Chains A and B, each alone.
Chain A
Amino acid sequence: MGEFIVEVQDASVELGGVRVIEGVTLQVERGSTVAIIGPNGAGKTTLLRAMLGLVPLASGSITLFGVPVAQLGEWRKRVGYVPQRLDYDRYLPLTVREMLRAYVPSASPASIEAALHEVGIHQMLHHPIGKLSGGQLQRVVIALNLLRQPEILFLDEPATGVDIEGESRFYDIIERLREQHHLTVVLVSHDLSVVTRYASQVLCLNRRLLCFGPPAEALNAEMIRLVYGQEMTLYTHREHGT
C-alpha cells in the first residue's frame, strides 16, 4: 500500500440548501489515476471542486498532502487543475505565452517552449488563445500545469467538446505525463472507455459513493446499471486490451 495523497472522510456538500454529496469516504494513492464517474447531477464536479477546496464541506473532512484543503496555503503550488472549459472572453487579445506567464510568472522562455513541446503545440506560442481549438486550448492548460510541476492533477471532463481522435490523443498525453512526471491524476469523466483504458481506480458516484476500486472489479454490469440506470455492458477492445 502506497502513500495517500488525498483523503476524503465522510464528506458531504450542500449547494443552495440541497445535499449534493453525502458521506463520501475515499483515499487516493500517490501515482494512481482515479476516475470519477456517474450520471449527470451525480455530484462528480462538486466532489472534484471540494477536493480542491473550492466549495465548503457541510460535514466531514478532505485533506491533500495531509493538510486540510481549506488551509492548503503554499501547498497549492503542488496542485494542478484542468477545468472543463475556459469560460473566458474569446476575443481577448491574450497570447498563449502571456497566459502561461500570468499563471507561472517564474517560468523561463525555454521552460515555456519545452512545456508546449511536451504537449505538441510549441508552434502556438504567440497565437491568441481565442484562435485555438478546444483541444489545443486544453493542451495549453496542461502545459500551464506542467510548468507549475504539480504532484497531483485534477481534471474536470477535460475533453468536453473535443472530437474522438482529439480526446484519445489528449488522454494519451495525460497518461504519458503522469508516468514521466510521477503525477497523481484525479479526473471526472462520463466516458467509460476512457475510464477503463486510463484509470487505475474508478469511483462511481451518484450523490453517495457507489463503488471504488480497479475498473475491472468495480465496473460490473450491476454497478453500471446502478450508476447509469440502464442496461450497459463493457466490451474489451481487441487492440487496446481495455
Chain B
Amino acid sequence: MIDILEYPFFQRALLAAALLGVSLPLIGVFVVTRRLSFFSEAVAHSAFTGLALSALLMTPAMPTVMGFAVLVTLAIVFTLHRTEIPTDTVIGVYLALCAGAGILLLGMLQGYQPGLFQFLFGDILALAWEDVWLLTGVCLGSVLAVLALWNALLRVSVHREMAMAMGTSAARVDTLFLVLLAVMVTLSLKLIGIVLVTAMLLLPAAAARNLTCSFRGMAAAACAIGGLSSVVGLYASYWFGAASGAAIVLTAAAVFLLSVVFRRG
C-alpha cells in the first residue's frame, strides 16, 4: 500500500481523486435536491460537441468545451424562463441537439481522434502536476461558490416563489449554480471521464440522503463518502489491476447500496 504512494503519478491521482471526491458531492447535494441529475448528464454530453468544434476550429480543447457547455447551460436557462415546457423536456431537447451537432461535426473530421476519447473517458493516472494544481484551484473555488450560494439555493429549493417574494433572485441563483455545475463537469471530464463525473455528483449525495436527518449532515456525509470512495476506489484499482475510474464509481455505488439497506427510518 505504501509502495504505490512513492510513485508521483499515484500521488497526483490520489490528490485529484480526493479533491473531486469532496467537491463534486458538495455540488451533488444540490443536484440531487433540485433533481438536476439529467442536466449534469446533458452538460457532460455537450462536451462531445464542444470537442468536435475545437478540433474543427483548431482551438484549445478545454476552453472550447467549457465555453460550449456554458453556452448550452445559458440556452437551457433562457428556454426555461421563456417557455412553460417542463425542465426535463428542455434539457432533453438540448441533449438531442448537442448529440446531433456533435455527430455532424465529427463526421466532418478526418481520421481517428485519440484526444477525443481521452477527453471523454479521462484517465486520472495520467494527470500532470499542472492539472492537479489547476484542479485544486477550481475545486476550492467551487466549494467557496457553493458555500456562498448555500442559503439562496436552499431557499429556492424549498419554495421558489416564497424565496422570490422575500427578495431572492431565483433566476440569478439558478444561472450561477448551473454555470458552476457546467464548469465543474467539463473540467472533471478530461481528468476522470464522463462516467465518473456524473457518478461522483450523484452517488455520494444520494447515499448521504438515505443516511442523514439534516441538510448539513447530508452535505458532510456526501463529501465524506465521495472522498473515501475516491481514495478506496483508487487503491482498489491498484490491487485488482482494474480501471481507476470504474473502481471509484463501483466503490461509491457499493456505499449507496449499503445506504439503501441501512437507510434512516
Query: Are A83 and B154 neighbours in the complex by a CB distance under 8 Å?
Result: no
Residue of B nearest to A51 (CB): B165
Tell which of A73, A81, A91, A105 touches B162, judged by Cβ atoms closer than 8 Å.
A81
Query: Are A83 and B161 neighbours in the complex by a CB distance under 8 Å?
Result: yes
Query: Are A94 and B217 neighbours in the complex by a CB distance under 8 Å?
Result: no
Query: Are B161 and A99 neighbours in the complex by a CB distance under 8 Å?
Result: no
Query: Are B165 and A98 neighbours in the complex by a CB distance under 8 Å?
Result: no
Nearest CB of A to B101, in Å: 32
Within B163-216, the residues touching A (CB, 8 Å) are 163-167, 209, 212-216
Query: Are B157 and A99 neighbours in the complex by a CB distance under 8 Å?
Result: no
With a cutoff of 8 Å between Cβ atoms, the chain B residues found around residue A80 in the complex are 166
- In the complex, A80 Cα to B165 Cα: how many Å? 8
Query: Are B155 and A102 neighbours in the complex by a CB distance under 8 Å?
Result: yes
Residue of A nearest to B154 (CB): A102
- In the complex, A81 Cα to B159 Cα: how many Å? 11
Query: Given A77-B167, A93-B214, A94-B214: A83 and B151 within 8 A (CB)?
Result: no
Interface band, chain A: 35 or more
Query: Are B214 and A83 neighbours in the complex by a CB distance under 8 Å?
Result: no
Binary interface encoding of chain A residues 92-113 relative to chain B, with 1 for a CB under 8 A from any of its CBs, else 0: 1111001101110100000000
B71 at the interface (CB under 8 A from A): no
Query: Given A54-B164, A81-B166, A148-B166: A86 and B215 within 8 A (CB)?
Result: no
Query: Are A87 and B159 neighbours in the complex by a CB distance under 8 Å?
Result: yes
Number of A-B contacts (CB under 8 A): 81
- In the complex, A101 Cα to B155 Cα: how many Å? 10
Query: Are A102 and B213 neighbours in the complex by a CB distance under 8 Å?
Result: no
- In the complex, A103 Cα to B158 Cα: how many Å? 10
The B contact surface, by secondary structure, is: helix
B20 at the interface (CB under 8 A from A): no
B218 at the interface (CB under 8 A from A): yes
B37 at the interface (CB under 8 A from A): no
Residue of A nearest to B214 (CB): A95
Tell which of B155, B157, B166, B218 touches A76, judged by Cβ atoms closer than 8 Å.
B166
Query: Are A95 and B213 neighbours in the complex by a CB distance under 8 Å?
Result: yes
Within A68-83, the residues touching B (CB, 8 Å) are 72-74, 76-77, 79-81, 83
With a cutoff of 8 Å between Cβ atoms, the chain A residues found around residue B155 in the complex are 102-103
Within B23-48, the residues touching A (CB, 8 Å) are 33, 35
- In the complex, A101 Cα to B164 Cα: how many Å? 16
Nearest CB of B to A138, in Å: 12
Q: Which of A74, A102, A103, A148 has the most chain B CB within a 10 Å cutoff? A: A102
Nearest CB of B to A133, in Å: 17
Query: Are A99 and B165 neighbours in the complex by a CB distance under 8 Å?
Result: no
A23 at the interface (CB under 8 A from B): no
Nearest CB of A to B147, in Å: 12
Name A residues whose Cβ lies closer than 8 Å to a Cβ of B: 16, 49, 52-54, 72-74, 76-77, 79-81, 83, 86-89, 91-95, 98-99, 101-103, 105, 126, 128-129, 141, 148, 154
Can you offer 19 A-B residue contacts whose CB atoms are under 8 A?
A16-B84, A54-B161, A73-B167, A77-B167, A79-B165, A81-B161, A81-B162, A83-B161, A86-B158, A91-B209, A92-B209, A93-B209, A93-B212, A95-B213, A98-B216, A99-B154, A101-B151, A102-B158, A103-B163
